[in-house]
């Protein structure tokens, strides 16, 4: 397995995983997520792939098939009136192909991203996870993530 930055040749493989992630979200909250869609269009992916502040990392096999991906976003707080300066690497989307989950690929992909964050002087890594996604919650807790804040909802 190799982990590297994604490129335009990876769009088809990224789409497979984006549909898988979206399917989990549709199953968990069909009142929020539209069936049959994905988070990014091909045009949006092309723009993201060119944006150095939004790196996408992929884990690939020996045939360059995508096994997993991690979409990241640089977030920085500087000279804020009430917040301390911080350089945060936000994980926007992390997915391992549903057919090979629990094989250690997600952990290796995260460790690669963690090393990237350390090498680039980030102060922390953050992410959002839906409460219905118990597998993701367990995974993130297992690799050391702790709750930072809670977004509450009251349906009316």
Q: What's the average model confidence in pLDDT over 110-137?
A: 98
Is residue 79 left, alpha or beta, with left meaning phi > 0 and alpha meaning psi from -120 to 50? left
What confidence score (pLDDT) does residue 63 get?
96
Share the mean pLDDT of the chain: 97
* Token couple for 74: 């640089």
Could you tell me the pTM of the whole model? 0.95
What confidence score (pLDDT) does residue 79 get?
96
Tens-digit pLDDT profile for residues 65-102: 999 999 999 999 999 999 999 999 999 999 999 999 99
- What CA–CA distance (Å, rounded) separates 128 from 90? 9
What confidence score (pLDDT) does residue 25 get?
98
| Three-state secondary structure of 105-143 | HHHHHHHHHHHHHHHCCCCEEEECCCCCCHHHHHHHHHC
Among candidates 97, 53, 88, 98, which has minimal Cα distance to 71? Answer: 53
Tens-digit pLDDT profile for residues 12-33: 999 999 999 999 999 999 999 9
- CA-based torsion, 27, 73, 85, 77: positive or negative: negative
In the CATH scheme, what is the code of domain 2-142? 3.40.630.30
What confidence score (pLDDT) does residue 40 get?
97
């Amino acid at each position: 397995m190799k982990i590297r930055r994604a490129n335009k040749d990876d769009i088809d493989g990224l789409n497979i995983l984006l549909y898988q992630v979206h399917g989990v979200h549709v199953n968990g909250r069909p009142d929020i997520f539209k069936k049959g869609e994905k988070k990014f269009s091909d045009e949006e992916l092309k723009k993201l792939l060119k944006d150095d502040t939004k790196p996408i990392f992929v884990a690939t096999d020996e045939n360059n098939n995508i096994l997993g991906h991690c979409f990241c976003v640089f977030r920085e707080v500087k000279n804020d009136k009430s917040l301390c300066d911080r350089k945060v690497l936000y994980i926007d989307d992390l997915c391992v192909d549903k057919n090979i989950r629990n094989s250690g690929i997600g952990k290796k992909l995260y460790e690669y991203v963690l090393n990237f964050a350390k090498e680039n002087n980030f102060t922390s890594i953050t992410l959002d996870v839906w409460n219905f996604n118990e597998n993701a919650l367990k995974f993130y807790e297992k690799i050391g993530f702790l709750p930072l804040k809670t977004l509450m909802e009251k349906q009316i």
